[in-house]
Amino acid sequence: EDKVVQSPLSLVVHEGDTVTLNCSYEVTNFRSLLWYKQEKKAPTFLFMLTSSGIEKKSGRLSSILDKKELFSILNITATQTGDSAVYLCATHDRGSTLGRLYFGRGTQLTVWP
């Protein structure tokens, strides 16, 4: 049973569109939620969220966490073709193996020119 569920599984948009990727999770003692971007190779780190309601922002990407409702969203504004990738969400809980992350299946984002 998946601890981390991402939606949608795939998304196709045109350049300039704004997208919202969703991640819901179920962990016993939540510690943090992480977003990664994966472009046909190793995942690269985007954000780590530990506190509810505090937005993390980097350029056109932003993310926020809702610890009450157990979800996070990743927003990308003014999308570019270079944003095409799989976006992975992962959570870490205090009760798990030290440092272990639980990954969702990812959202495949395709941005057409």
Residue numbers at the binding site for another protein (CB under 8 A): 4, 9, 31-32, 34, 41-45, 48, 50, 88, 90, 92, 97-101, 103-106
Of 42 and 113, which has the nearer Cβ to another protein?
42
Tell the smallest beta-carbon distance from residue 44 to another protein (Å). Answer: 8
DSSP state of 42: S
Of 7 and 50, which has the nearer Cβ to another protein?
50
Half-sphere exposure (CA, 13 Å, Cβ side) for 54? 8
Of 40 and 113, which has the nearer Cβ to another protein?
40
Of 28 and 97, which has the nearer Cβ to another protein?
97
Q: Retrieve residue 45's tokens.
A: 């780190």
Decide: 4 and 89 in contact? Cβ < 8 Å: yes
Cα distance between residue 100 and residue 35, in whole Å: 15
Tell the smallest beta-carbon distance from residue 80 to another protein (Å). Answer: 23
Decide: 106 and 40 in contact? Cβ < 8 Å: no
Tell the smallest beta-carbon distance from residue 16 to another protein (Å). Answer: 27
Tell the smallest beta-carbon distance from residue 101 to another protein (Å). Answer: 6
